[in-house]
Amino acid sequence: MTQTLMILAFLALVALLAAATVAWWRATERLAALSGKDEIGDRMAQLMRAQGEITGHVRGLSERLDGFGHRIGQSMTDTTKSTHESLAKLGERLAVIDKAQQTITTLSGQVVELQQVLANKQTRGAFGQGRMEAIVRDGLPSNAYAFQATLGNGTRPDCLILFPSGPSLVVDAKFPLEAWNGIRAAATPEATKAAEAQFRRDTVKHIQDIADRYFVPGETQDTAFMFVPSESIFADIHERFEDVVQRAHRSRVVIVSPSLLMLSIQVVTSLLRDQRMKEQAHLIQEEVGKMMEDVVRLDERVKRLQTHFAQANKDVDEILVSTRRVTARGTRIEQVEVNGAGGEAPKVATKPAAVRTPTPRPPGPPELPFSNFEEV
């Protein structure tokens, strides 16, 4: 587009130059035809002015064309840059859309596989069995449940929840899902009504089969669970098929969803924990008795230690009495006045000694002068 505009501008410039040349040629012919010298000069002056005006117009047109071409070039550059940025963003969005399309295709394939699984009774039973087993394994210890265990009457329920001191609880996972899919696939009110009747018959029959096959006196509880692998189906059953729910209650079969089964598993876990605590109660009592013996023994030892402390305090008091006496005797010794010239007997400054009958001294060193002091 820029080249086209430049060509048009060049053609316009050529046309102007051609027009100026033709005007010059005509003016020359007219000058040749004129006879007067003054008139020729005037005509030449007019021709020069006209040529100057044409040259100015041509120069202005050329400058305008240059400016116009520059603006067009800048606009084309900006447009090209914007176009490249838009194409880059469009490419990124197309890549995201392509990735989303691949994800949708994968999900569609998985949905088709799930529909095929749910359409087959065996695979549908395996699907419900898998969900139920996952919930039971997550909530109970390995010794508290059994899958596909054989009862005394030869039947094999999907799951048995084992209680330590009582019958086991049966959990069935074979919900009639194909009848429910028939309700969802119905296109007319008549087809929906027929599908609901079929679902009601199949569900009631399955409830009755659970009650007839899995209630074994002394071996299983008189209540069983029928597991529904979908919360939405569970809600629709309680909303649209109240008679089926009441029939299940009368047959002592509880319809449970995944969330209700998890809640029931937690209750069972609490019961098992309480049972284990009851079984270990005698051990706890024995340990508490031993601990009380240790406490009594500790009390006796503390009392003996207290007696030792009291005796030690008494000994310390007696030692203090002796030290006071020794200190008093030392003080008295310091207060004795000895007369070195006359050899007089020693005197006590504070209290005179009691007069005693002198006794003959045995041979040996002289007796100390403070031996006759009375004790404090």
3-state secondary structure 37-95: HHHHHHHHHHHHHHHHHHHHHHHHHHHHHHHHHHHHHHHHHHHHHHHHHHHHHHHHHHH
Confirm whether 356 is domain-assigned: no
Residue 328, amino acid: A
* Structural domain count, the chain: 3
Grouping H, G, I as helix, E, B as strand and the rest as coil, residue 275 is helix
Which residue matches tokens 């295709």?
Answer: 105
* Inter-axis angle of helices 37-119 and 177-185, nearest 10: 140
Has residue 325 been placed in a domain? no
300 within a domain of the structure (yes/no)? no
Domain range for 68: 2-75
CATH for 221: 3.40.1350
> Helix crossing, 121-139 with 37-119: angle to 10°?
90
Q: Is residue 296 part of a domain?
A: no
- Of all residues in the chain, the percent with pLDDT exceeding 90 is 2
What confidence score (pLDDT) does residue 340 get?
43
Residues 6+ apart with CB under 8 A from 289: none
Alpha helices of the chain — where are they, by DSSP H?
2-33, 37-119, 121-139, 177-185, 189-214, 231-240, 242-250, 258-279, 281-334
Residue 302 lies in a domain: no
**68: number of Cβ within 10 Å:** 13
Measure the CA angle with vertex 130, ends 127 and 136; round to 5°: 145
345 domain residue, yes or no: no
Rounded Cα gap, residues 264 and 221, in angstroms:
14
Q: What is the pLDDT of residue 140?
A: 85
Question: Poorest-confidence range of 6-20, 75-89, 124-138, 284-298?
Answer: 6-20
Same domain, 112 and 125: no
The count of C-alpha atoms lying within 13 angstroms of the C-alpha of 197, restricted to the half-sphere facing its C-beta, is 6
Q: Is 375 left (phi over 0), alpha (psi -120 to 50) or beta?
A: beta
Residues 263, 279: one domain? Answer: yes
Looking only at the bridges linking them, the beta strands covering 159-161 and 145-147 are: antiparallel
One domain, residues 10 and 97: no
Cross-strand partners of 253: 224
Which of 190-204, 257-271, 358-372 is predicted with the least confidence, judged by mean pLDDT? 358-372
Residues 270 and 152 placed together within one structural domain of the fold: yes
Q: Considering the domain boundaries, does residue 316 fall inside one?
A: no
Q: Are residues 59 and 103 in the same domain?
A: no
User: Is 52 contained in some domain?
Assistant: yes
Q: Which of 234, 254, 283 is the last residue of a domain?
A: 283
Q: What interhelical angle do 231-240 and 242-250 show, nearest 10?
A: 90
Identify whether residues 272 and 126 lie together within a single domain. yes
Same domain, 27 and 136: no
Higher model confidence: residue 354 or residue 170? 170
Residues 216-267 have pLDDT tens digits of: 888 888 889 999 888 888 888 888 888 889 999 999 999 998 888 888 888 8
Residues 45 and 159 in one domain: no
User: How does residue 129 score in pLDDT terms, banded at 50, 70 and 90?
Assistant: confident
